[in-house]
Amino acid sequence: MQNKLAQPFYPRHGQYADAVVVVPPKEFQFNEQTAGDNEFQTPLSLTTETVQQRAMVEYERLVNGVREAGVTVIEFDYPLSETPTPDAVFPNNWFSTMADGRLITFPMASENRQVEVRPEALSTVLKQAGWAVQGVDTFSQYIAVEKYLESTGAMVMDHHAGVIYAALSQRCDETVLDEYAAHIGYETVPFRTSLPSGQSVYHTNVMMALGEAFCIICDEVIEPTQRRAVIERLMANKDVIHITIEQMNRFCGNVLVVITESGKPVIVLSQSAYEAFHPDQLQRLRQYGELLPIDVTTIEKIGGGSVRCMMAEVFLPRI
């Protein structure tokens, strides 16, 4: 494995990135390979052409909304391959970026999502946009032993505290999680979850989101023996906003805070999530940033992910 980072990874803007990578959904459709453990996916009786047209409209709505808010958006229009990549619109699952200039790639659980991992092409796009990629590290070797860790889908990070919160699942193996955490100098808070079906939450970032001073979490899905410890850890430095399973299913946990060029935090969430939050919860969130709801209904229903999944944070230094 690559050398451990000389210092823990602390972004230059603290918890928040000032730029995100997005990927157009030009092959978007219901992904049979991921549906087995993603209960948020719902097939719709629409033609592939209609689905992709609607998804593209929603993608452009996100890009335009985030840009108009004052946040840098880098579009990675990836090259097509022989294997379609229906979930490419969710790039935050296969890579992360580091403040020291490293791009890190991760082991994806589904074969058609493994095809999304294109570090060379992404590095070129990032460099052209003015960000310094000074090396690529990978954990993809774990695919050979069927162990997976799907980046910031599987991990929710508190950069101020140097802590990774992670719901263990098929897509979040504890061995890989521990190695990654040691690699960047962070501590882990792993826990197990159970949905009403008995299945685990497929990605941590659909049940929780972190800001510098707040946390959104559906803690009722955490195993009872671990729930109290997780919440107490969060309450040590966060305003904890509890959401229900119903709100989680409306993607209230799939929220990302980004920062504008002027240093203003913007809380990006879907229209579905915005409408599912209670008025008092929205009032609490407004203390921590401007709310930016975006309608991505088709992508949510068919893809089983929302706006946070559609944005991969850029913490790289500028050239």
Q: Which domain holds residue 200?
A: 19-313
The answer as to whether 132 is a domain residue is: yes
Q: Name, of 28-37, 71-80, 219-228, the range with top average pLDDT.
A: 219-228
pLDDT band at 245 (very low <50, low <70, confident <90, very high): very high
Which band of pLDDT confidence, cut at 50, 70 and 90, is reported for residue 103?
very high
- List of residues 6+ apart from 247 with CB closer than 8 A: 218, 253, 273, 276, 277
CA distance 269 to 257: 9
318 lies in some domain: no
Quote the tokens at residue 110: 């589904």
Q: Is residue 239 part of a domain?
A: yes
* Predicted pLDDT of residue 10: 52
Q: What total number of domains does the chain contain?
A: 1
Residue 13 has pLDDT above 80, yes or no: no
Q: Which pLDDT does position 2 carry in this prediction?
A: 46
Q: Of 265, 244, 240, 257, whose CA–CA distance to 307 is shortest?
A: 257
* Percent of the chain residues past pLDDT 90, beyond the cut: 87
Using 50, 70 and 90 to split pLDDT, how confident is the model at 160? Answer: confident
Res. 303: pLDDT tops 70: yes
* Residue 102 confidence (pLDDT) above 80: yes
Give residues with Cβ within 8 angstroms of 141, minimum separation 6.
Answer: 107
What average pLDDT score do residues 130-149 get? Answer: 97
Backbone φ and ψ for 98, nearest 5 degrees, come out as -120, 155
Band of the pLDDT at 1, cuts 50, 70, 90?
A: very low
Is residue 27 situated within a structural domain?
yes
Quick check: 310 and 62 in contact, CB under 8 A? yes
User: What is residue 156's predicted lDDT score, i.e. its pLDDT?
Assistant: 98
Q: Residue 76 maps to which CATH number?
A: 3.75.10.10
The answer to the question of residue 117 being in a domain is yes
Is 179 part of any domain?
yes
In a domain, 9, yes or no: no
Q: Considering the chain, what is the average pLDDT of its residues?
A: 94
> Do residues 281 and 8 touch, judged by C-beta distance below 8 A?
no
Residues composing the chain: 319
What is the reported pLDDT for 79? 78
- Could you tell me if residue 36 is inside a domain? yes
- The per-residue pLDDT for 3 is 45
Residue 6 has pLDDT above 70, yes or no: no
- Say whether pTM exceeds 0.75: yes
